Structure 1
């Protein structure tokens, strides 16, 4: 560790976390791979960090090495007429990728605008918002396998993508070095029309009916405005934006279980139903939190962590909060929802 080693609070959007034992941030892809191989050949703990928007880092710091993925670059690949294929280095900020796509009339990820973090992290969560998921546009990822130390190409079909889920959350260890996407050439600029709007809140914000096509630029602008209204666009002057985004995933439960909930509890059909077993529906984590008596702005006594004043799903650092305070608040919310509804909310960010 040197004096130049940054605290994790400087590298995460929740602004919590102490100083790691070592820190690396190579900006060249070959160097990134070399550093990762060196770290993995040693019997020491390591942590891969992208944009830091999905991480609750420990107050004590990190006992091993933090490898920050800072490589950037977008390469257009050969593709059939009407398609656009991109190879994007893992450290490229995701929202910049979306802005490039929209500005060039490339459709497929426009409603994923405003999401913080790096491109390499997007497949890990199978990021989705306002009717689109990255898995729909994902062709493959390039991964440095932590066991073989070789770079592999994994097709999207091999990633077991689901709702906020992939093989990377179930034991597979590796470093995503690049992401390959397939988009549609809808036009030449942001005025091109995208896919039909498939999310009711976005349709209402745009003032159109569900299924209406709007320009890519209009969709992007509306999504960013919605995210800003929920404190989901980073603003140094607004503590509501010092968060990890939605802290809990929307639970998926059997339809028979959902019927026992109050009639006004939102529920949506799940696209990928199991071949055998009960019919599944997705519930609103925000509704469950609010109806367990926890409202916007809620904080435990004396804590500097609080529920966002704009969006019940976001837990925020109101200034000087510790990781312990963030986790205590999350645990309290989980207990209240479990006691009232028998549902165990699952955190979305990685809690180290």
Structure 2
């Protein structure tokens, strides 16, 4: 763990990963490097590879659950900034964004310019490079709906692969071929956005009601962004250092997708049709129907379900990752015992398991 940092990267003095995750949990990294751009990311990762060290990329830390023992390797903080756009003849704009850009800053900038498409993804914490990895989605829109391509650093060949098409990334519900794969690292992301001053169609019923429009209506992107932020704040899903309901990794469990014949029938449980005779069930509804209420406390009250939304596991202060995982197991096992459905975590678990 003693190899020197590349001249173009910046070692940090405090290796604690808790300072770089929205849960405020996690032990130290063996080495923590700050990378200000794509070239520095490549240098930092190359330095770790040359030393035989594992690598952890850290953006906003909103999708990471890091073990209390930390990460025995090199953690690379994505801090590079850069954003540009190019107008096409078909009244769309291709937006190119560096992986280290704050995601909500990107969304806000596109809305301010009257570009439509990303507004429903407002208020999601983290860096842009993570959005295709997780196929981030909310309020009826996924990154897969807008993604054109990405630039990747291939650690196996030590080369940068430019303009890798979205179709080759295996984008699916909250996942991609990049998730859990350390061989390819996102350096830049490109999206196709609308340049006619209107949002993407409003598909999510709750958002349509908040906007007072019919589903599939297109609206002012700024109005859609404001409505999304309002809904997210009401669920504790907009970061606020003073609000422990936002000390979370967002939705901790994904909505399970099951063959329709195997899905439990629960009165009032939200469910949506999925491909090939399958159905997507509401993880929050399953949790509530299994007897877990908002604010349900974990070990010592140091962690709990959010007081506003049962799908978020929150750190109330003074807790540990082990506390959080104990609560997650309690919820997962409670749902499995009650309904025979196994919930799976959405965030990336680093050096720990559920």
Return the alpha-carbon distance in structure 2 between the equivalents of residues 241 and 294 of structure 1. Answer: 19
Matches within 5 A, 1:1-352: 4-77=13-86, 79-153=88-162, 154-169=164-179, 171=181, 173-187=183-197, 193-258=198-263, 260-270=264-274, 273-274=275-276, 279-352=277-350
Change (3 A) 1:18 1:52: same
Report if aligned partners of 1:5, 1:22 keep a CA contact under 8 Å in 2. Answer: no
Task: State the alpha-carbon separation in 1 of the partners of residues 180 and 34 from structure 2.
Answer: 26
Q: CA deviation at 1:195?
A: 2.9
**Whole-angstrom CA distance in 1 between matches of 2:346 and 2:118:** 21
CA distance in 1, matches of 2:269, 2:224: 28
> Deviations 1:101-155 (Å, cap 9, x if unpaired)?
1111111111010100000000001111111111111011111012111111311
1:3-27 deviation line (CA, Å, top 9, x unaligned): 8124111100000012211110121
TM-score by length of 2: 0.93
After superposition, the Cα gap between the structure-2 partners of 1:41 and 1:99, relative to the gap in structure 1 and judged at 3 Å, is: same
Q: CA deviation at 1:197?
A: 1.4
For residues 228-284 of structure 1, the C-alpha deviation after alignment (integer angstroms, 9 at most, x for no partner) is 0000001111100000000000000111112x42232211012xx24xxxx011000
Which segment drifts farther, 246-255 or 295-304?
295-304
CA distance in 1, matches of 2:116, 2:278: 30
Q: Within 1, Cα distance between the matches of 2:108 and 2:38?
A: 23
With over 3 angstroms needed to count, the CA separation of the structure-2 counterparts of 1:62 and 1:171, relative to structure 1, is: closer
Question: Can you list the C-alpha shifts for 1:67-109, whole angstroms capped at 9, x where unaligned?
Answer: 1111111022352340101110000011111111111111111
Gaps in structure 2 of 5+ consecutive residues: 3-10
Higher deviation after alignment, 293-302 or 72-81: 72-81
Q: How many residues align?
A: 340
Q: Please state whether the residue corresponding to 1:157 is helix, strand or coil.
A: helix
- Determine the C-alpha separation between the residues in 2 that align with 1:34 and 1:4: 19
Q: Name stretches of at least 5 consecutive residues in structure 1 with no aligned partner.
A: 188-192
SS of structure 1 residue aligned to 2:101: coil
Task: Tell me if structure 2 keeps the 8 A contact 1:249–1:346.
Answer: yes
Contact 2:129 2:186 in 1 (8 A): yes
CA contact (8 A) 1:255 1:281 kept: yes
Distance 2:96 2:66 in 1: 30
1:339 partner SS: helix
CA contact 1:5–1:20 (8 Å) conserved in 2:
no
